[in-house]
Structure 1
């Protein structure tokens, strides 16, 4: 389900546990959000890697750094030949030239993670320099239907 409005877009991809049969790009278990949400400054993917599965190739990027945020499960991330244990709460940032691969080391549990890609060195503002607090009271109660 998704909805695109003037100032926001929403996508309900469903539970990570249901991504195992989804195929976008070269791998099963990956949902890219760029087109669904009309993203203009980053690519985001929601990922489910089944038990004992792995991304079966090394890769790197030309311009984009990646941030991997692990939500559930356990695995190993290899960057430039170094094996890193990853699990719920782990975040890993990789520069474009970092050669990477990932595997789920669990025999029984899926590995759920989010990947955010953005052009390296392109962040010029963030919450503390870009955010503006408005003098407007917060009001709730206006629901929106999604198609």
Structure 2
């Protein structure tokens, strides 16, 4: 689990393994969470891969000083609470929370893990995105051999 490829000049790779294997991993304050900032040498965001077991919950409320968070739910079902408002989350749900939003999450399933990705980035720091930052190159796409 959490196998690293050698980092290259323009990319880094982390093979964390299946979400179903994260249950016993402890990084930070909670089991079932793998942070990617250090292993991928991220400089503009923090990303975590998360597995919350059946009927489990995050045992504390939290908020942030500067970072907004994006939660992307991949499998399972749960409930989210932000500023006292509760709503359901499930596969395909995405939730953005401002730094001051007081949040907590629980898995409402009795039998299925809740898998999700959390991305943190400084609020209001996005100045370019795919349509304003992307550059299409005039070279044919080739597969089947590594480019040295």
Query: In which range does the TM-score fall when normalised by the shorter chain?
Result: over 0.9
Structure 1 alignment gaps of length 5 or more? none
Hey, what's the Cα distance between the residues in 2 that align with 1:43 and 1:2? 19
Moved over 3 A (4+): none
Structure 2 alignment gaps of length 5 or more? none
1:70 and 2:70 are equivalent in the alignment: no
Q: Is the 8 A contact 1:33 1:39 kept in 2?
A: yes
Hey, what's the Cα distance between the residues in 1 that align with 2:146 and 2:73? 31
**1:144/1:29 CA distance change after superposition, 3 Å:** farther
Aligned residues, how many?
145
Hey, what's the Cα distance between the residues in 1 that align with 2:74 and 2:122? 23
Q: Is the 8 A contact 1:74 1:105 kept in 2?
A: yes
RMSD: 1.4
Deviations 1:88-116 (A, max 9, x none): 00000000000000000000000000000
**1:69/1:144 CA distance change after superposition, 3 Å:** farther
Q: Is the 8 A contact 1:2 1:36 kept in 2?
A: no
The normalised TM-score by structure 2 is 0.95
3-state DSSP of counterpart to 1:19: helix
The Cα shift of 1:144 comes to: 9.4
3-state DSSP of counterpart to 2:99: coil
